[in-house]
């Protein structure tokens, strides 16, 4: 298996009830669309919940980074349930504790604090993606 | 089904990250929850049916539920039916907007104008379904605007209700059955209803309780007697507390 040629799958929880879920979603978009589009693939959590075969196969065959908005860790649990390997889990709450200067608000639309927190988290995720994909830009080990 | 205090409608959006229509479902659901029908609706994150507990999986058995999907894979509707209960109604954005002259919906991350309009139309449709399910007049005005959710630290202690991260809040209670702790969904509400109906503890009441509890909780046939005894004991304790003068 050559993981270095595979895209890293990013799975956010996208929780709909609190602002942290929106932060997870925005951070995932920033990584997969802006920062490392060539090295990453965004996977919809709802497809994993449904048990979609194609999505399960993509997850089971890849290194996965999950981003969870609360301690229930839905994204991480669903990836594990689907036979995937969670190379690294990020918790938005932990990111918030590291960046208390950013106060996220809003679900449908994140405020500036939420956007900044998502950006900070996206940079942390990107460092892990670099490490996993062998880009040499990683700042930490998965 | 008993008339339990559940006069709210559950809204479950697929929130699919890969398609613009997934974002439409998310924004439409939030508009209903926060602006159009905040007093009449609750939500739950779809993955909690698998990642959560019994209280989460009981969501669609407790609330009549509207599933909101972005595409014909219908993840929200199908997963809800598989793991919780059959939705009372279902909306698929791609079907709802057939023939509309909105233009191409774009922006799984940030919707374009057509996408925002699609979210408005979808939200109105969901709100009308909520009204139908609750038997309320159609076309009611907007109820209220909920303040944006603020960041806060999670509570450390165990909650008395099976709230998900979205605060769905289905009441649960742990009882001892055959020496093990069992979580029973809706039990506090059922006890409250029985007390309000003037039902005193006793064998007949315990049998009635068991029948109502079985609607929301799977109870193996061979354990019914143990559950009945547990319910009789717990209801007696509940009843005694209610009867104590303040």
Instruction: Return the CATH number at B115.
Output: 3.40.50
B178: left (phi over 0), alpha (psi -120 to 50) or beta: left
pLDDT score at A79? 96
Structure tokens at B228: 């009945």
Count of positions (residues) in chain B: 246
Same domain membership, residue B194 and residue B114: no
CB within 8 Å of chain B, chain A residues 9-28: 12-21, 25-26, 28
Residues of A in contact with B47 (CB under 8 A): 13, 45-46, 48-49, 74-75, 77-78
Q: Is the pLDDT of residue A6 over 60?
A: yes
Give the Cα separation of B128 and A1 in Å (integer): 52
Distance from CA of A90 to the nearest CA of B (A): 16
Looking at B85, B114, B134, the residue that finishes a domain is B134
Domain ranges of chain A: 3-133
Same domain membership, residue B122 and residue B19: yes
pTM reported for the whole predicted model: 0.78
What is the pLDDT of chain A when averaged over all its residues?
A: 90
Same domain membership, residue B184 and residue B114: no
- In this complex, which of B29, B151, B153 lies closest to A104 when CB atoms are compared? B151
Cβ(B206)–Cβ(B231) below 8 Å: yes
Residue-wise pLDDT for A51-88, tens only, equals 999 999 999 989 999 999 999 999 999 999 999 999 99
Looking at B134, B160, B178, the residue that finishes a domain is B134
Same domain membership, residue B220 and residue B112: no
Which of A12, A50, A117 to probe by mutation at the B interface, max B CB count within 10 Å? A50
User: Does the residue B4 lie in any domain?
Assistant: no
User: Does the residue B3 lie in any domain?
Assistant: no
Q: Does the beta-carbon distance from B148 to A111 stay under 8 Å? A: yes
Same domain membership, residue B127 and residue B62: yes
Q: Does the beta-carbon distance from A17 to B78 stay under 8 Å? A: no
Q: What are A12's strand-pairing partners?
A: A67
ipTM, two decimals: 0.88
Same domain membership, residue B127 and residue B174: no
What burial class does residue B22 get, using C-beta atoms within 10 Å of its C-beta: 0-12 exposed, 13-18 middle, 19+ buried? buried
Cβ(B94)–Cβ(B102) below 8 Å: no
Q: Hey, is the C-beta of B109 within 8 angstroms of any chain A C-beta?
A: yes
Residues (pLDDT < 50) of chain B are: 145, 148, 154-167
Same domain membership, residue B29 and residue B122: yes
Domain count for chain B, please give it.
2
The nearest alpha carbon in chain B to A97 belongs to B153
Q: Which residues span the domain enclosing B55?
A: 9-134
pLDDT score at A140? 40
User: Does the residue B93 lie in any domain?
Assistant: yes
- In this complex, which of A19, A77, A78 lies closest to B151 when CB atoms are compared? A19
Q: Does the beta-carbon distance from A16 to B43 stay under 8 Å? A: yes
Of the candidate CATH numbers 3.40.1400, 3.40.50, 3.40.630, 1.10.150, the domain formed by A3-133 belongs to: 3.40.50
User: Does the residue B103 lie in any domain?
Assistant: yes
Looking at B134, B154, B182, the residue that finishes a domain is B134
User: Does the residue B147 lie in any domain?
Assistant: no
pLDDT score at B245? 63
User: Does the residue B141 lie in any domain?
Assistant: no
Give the Cα separation of B83 and B24 in Å (integer): 24
Same domain membership, residue B119 and residue B32: yes
pLDDT score at B69? 96
pLDDT score at B56? 81
Q: Is the pLDDT of residue A3 over 60?
A: no
Write the CA distances from B38 to A110, B43, B79, integer angstroms: 20, 10, 24
Cβ(B89)–Cβ(B133) below 8 Å: yes
Same domain membership, residue B111 and residue B15: yes
Same domain membership, residue B200 and residue B116: no
The nearest alpha carbon in chain B to A26 belongs to B109
Count of positions (residues) in chain A: 142
Same domain membership, residue B100 and residue B196: no
Average pLDDT for A38-62: 93
Write the CA distances from B228 to A81, B179, B191, B225, B234, integer angstroms: 35, 14, 14, 5, 10
Q: Does the beta-carbon distance from B13 to A75 stay under 8 Å? A: no
Which of B52, B151, B153 to probe by mutation at the A interface, max A CB count within 10 Å? B151
What is the pLDDT of chain B when averaged over all its residues?
A: 84
The nearest alpha carbon in chain B to A117 belongs to B151
Q: Hey, is the C-beta of B117 within 8 angstroms of any chain A C-beta?
A: no
């Amino acid at each position: 298996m050559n993981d270095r040629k595979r895209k890293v799958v990013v799975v956010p929880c996208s929780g709909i009830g609190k602002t942290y879920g929106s932060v997870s979603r925005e951070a995932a978009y920033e990584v997969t669309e802006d920062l490392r589009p060539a090295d990453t693939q965004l996977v919809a959590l709802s497809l994993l919940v449904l048990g979609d075969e194609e999505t399960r196969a993509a997850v089971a065959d890849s290194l996965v980074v999950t981003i969870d908005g609360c301690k229930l860790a839905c994204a991480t649990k669903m990836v594990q349930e689907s036979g995937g390997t969670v190379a690294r889990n990020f918790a938005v709450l932990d990111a918030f504790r590291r960046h208390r200067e950013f106060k996220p608000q809003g679900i449908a639309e994140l405020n500036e604090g939420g956007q900044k927190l998502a950006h900070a988290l996206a940079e942390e995720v990107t460092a892990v993606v670099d490490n996993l994909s062998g880009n040499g830009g990683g700042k930490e080990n998965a | 089904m008993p008339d339990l205090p559940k006069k709210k409608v559950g809204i479950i959006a697929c929130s699919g990250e890969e398609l613009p229509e997934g974002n439409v479902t998310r924004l439409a659901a939030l508009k209903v929850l926060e602006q159009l029908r905040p007093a009449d609706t609750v939500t739950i994150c779809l993955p909690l049916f698998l990642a959560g507990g019994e209280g989460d999986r009981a969501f669609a058995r407790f609330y009549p539920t509207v599933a909101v999907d972005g595409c014909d894979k219908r993840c929200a509707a199908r997963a809800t039916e598989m793991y919780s209960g059959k939705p009372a109604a279902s909306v698929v954005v791609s079907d709802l907007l057939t023939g509309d002259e909105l233009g191409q919906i774009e922006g799984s991350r940030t919707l374009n104008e057509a996408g925002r309009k699609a979210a408005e139309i979808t939200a109105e449709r969901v709100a009308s379904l909520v009204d139908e399910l609750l038997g309320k007049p159609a076309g009611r005005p907007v109820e209220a605007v909920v303040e944006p959710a603020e960041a806060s630290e999670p509570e450390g202690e165990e909650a008395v209700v099976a709230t998900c991260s979205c605060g769905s809040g289905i009441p649960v209670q742990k009882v001892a059955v055959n020496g093990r702790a069992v979580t029973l969904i809706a039990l506090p509400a059922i006890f409250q209803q029985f007390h309000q109906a003037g039902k005193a503890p006793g064998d007949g009441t315990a049998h009635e309780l068991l029948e109502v509890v079985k609607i929301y909780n799977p109870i193996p046939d061979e354990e019914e007697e143990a559950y009945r005894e547990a319910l009789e004991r717990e209801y007696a304790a509940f009843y005694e507390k209610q009867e104590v003068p303040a």
